[in-house]
Amino acid sequence: MSQSPPVYHISGWRDTRRRVLRNKMVIAGLMILGFFAVLSFIHPVLQATVWSSRQSVYRPETGHDPTISNPSGPALAHPLGTDSLGRDVLSLVTYGLRPSFMVAVATALSAGVIGTLAGTSAAFFRGRYDRLMSHVADAFVLLPPPLIFLIASKRGLLGAFELGLLYGLFFGLGPAAVVVRSRSLAVMEKPFIEAARCAGGSPRWIITHHVLPDVLPHTAVVVLAGVVGALITQGFVEFLGIGEYRYGLGTLVYNALAYGMSLGTRAPWSSLLAGALSISLLAASFYLISAGLREVNDPRGGERRV
Partner 1 sequence: MVGFVLRRILGSLVTLLLLASIAFFAVNLLLPYDFAVGVGQRPGAIAFIREQLGLDRPLWVRWLDYLWHLVRGDLGTSFTGASVAGLVWGVLPVTVAIFAVGGIVAYLLGEWFGRWVAWSRSRLLKGASSTASVLAFTAFPPWLVFLLLFFVAEPLYRFRSFFGLAPIPARAHPGDILLVVLAVGLVAALVAGVLLRGWARRGDHRVLAATAFPGCLTLLAGILAASGLWGETVDRLLWPSALMATAALVVIAFGESMLVMRAGVSAELSEDYVFTARAKGLPGRLIRDRHVARNAVLPVISRLITSVPYLISGLIIIERQLSLEGVASLFFRAIEAADVPVILGILVVVGLVGLALRIVLDAVEAILDPRVRIEGRAR
Residue 241: partners with Cβ closer than 8 Å, 6 or more residues away: 251, 254
Q: Give the number of other CB atoms < 10 A from CB of residue 302.
A: 6
* Alpha-carbon dihedral angle through residues 139, 143, 145, 148, given to the nearest 10 degrees: -120
- Closest CB 58 distance from partner 1, rounded Å: 25
Rank residues 63 and 248 by Cβ distance to partner 1 and give the closer one: 248
Which positions lie near partner 1, rule CB under 8 A?
A: 25, 135-136, 138-144, 146-148, 150-152, 154-157, 175, 228-229, 232-233, 235-236, 239-240, 242, 250, 253-254, 257, 267, 272, 276, 279-281, 283-284, 287-288, 291, 300, 302, 304-306
Q: State which residue, 30 or 57, has the beta carbon closest to partner 1.
A: 30
User: Least distance from C-beta 56 to partner 1, angstroms?
Assistant: 31
Please report the DSSP string for 206-262 in residue order: HIIIIIHHHHHHHHHHHHHHHHHHHHHHHHHHHHHT-SS----HHHHHHHHHHHHHH
Shortest distance in whole angstroms from residue 260 CB to partner 1: 10
- In the bound state with partner 1, the residue whose beta carbon lies nearer, of 123 and 282, is 282
Cβ at position 251, least distance to partner 1 in Å: 11
With respect to partner 1, which residue has the nearer C-beta, 201 or 243?
Answer: 243
Q: Compute the least distance from the CB of residue 98 to partner 1, in Å.
A: 17
Q: Of the two residues 95 and 287, which places its CB atom closer to partner 1 in the complex?
A: 287
CB 273 within 8 A of CB 92: no
Please say whether the dihedral angle defined by the alpha carbons of residues 261, 264, 269 and 275, taken in this order, is positive or negative. negative
Smallest gap from residue 297 Cβ to partner 1 (A): 12
Residue among 106 and 279 whose Cβ is closer to partner 1: 279
Residue 146 CB neighbour total at 10 angstroms: 17
